Amino acid sequence: MSKKNRLKLNQIKDFLLSKGFIVIKKKKITFFSAELRSLYLTALCSFAIIIFSFSLPAIIQFKKNTLTVSKEIQNNSKSNFERVLEGEALTKSSKLDEGLNLKNLFDDVFKFDDLPSDTVRLSASTIQQLFKETNYNLKDVRKTKLVKPVKLSLLPNEMKMIENTKKRKNLFIQIILPLIIEENNRIKLDRKKLFTILNKNHNSNSENKWLNQKFEQYGVLDKDLSTLKVRMDTIPVSLAIAQAAKETGWGTSRFALQGNALFGQWTWSGEGIKPADADNDATHKVMKFKILKSSIRAYQRNLNTHSGYKEFRMARAELRDNGRNLDGIILATYLNKYAETGKEYVKIIKQIIKQNNLTDFDDVKLLPSSIQLKNLI
Residue 161 counted as domain residue: yes
> What domain range includes position 134?
123-257+294-374
Residue 317 counted as domain residue: yes
Task: Note the pLDDT of residue 50.
Answer: 75
Q: Write down the pTM of the prediction.
A: 0.73
3-class SS at 52?
helix
Rounded to 5°, the CA angle 340-301-210 comes to 160
Residue 72 counted as domain residue: no
Find the helix or strand (DSSP H, E) in which 143 lies.
Answer: helix 138-144
State the angle between helix axes of 165-198 and 77-85 in degrees (0 to 180), rounded to the nearest 10: 120
Residue 271 counted as domain residue: no
For residue range 4-16, list pLDDT tens digits in order.
455 566 666 666 6
Task: Note the pLDDT of residue 139.
Answer: 97
Residue 344 counted as domain residue: yes
Residue 87 counted as domain residue: no
Task: Note the pLDDT of residue 103.
Answer: 74
For residue range 92-126, list pLDDT tens digits in order.
334 778 778 777 788 888 787 776 666 789 999 99
Which regions in the chain score pLDDT beneath 50?
1-4, 65-94
Task: Note the pLDDT of residue 199.
Answer: 87
The number of folded domains in the chain is 1
Residue 191 counted as domain residue: yes
* Length of the chain (residues): 377
Burial of 164 (0-12, 13-18, 19+ CB in 10 A): exposed
Helix and strand numbers (H, E) in the chain are: 16, 7
3-class SS at 147?
strand
Cβ proximity of 183 and 217 under 8 Å:
no
Task: Note the pLDDT of residue 291.
Answer: 93
Task: Note the pLDDT of residue 210.
Answer: 95
Residue 276 counted as domain residue: no
CA–CA distance, 27 with 103 (Å, rounded to integer): 84
Nearest Cα neighbor of 258 from 240, 246, 245, 272 is: 272
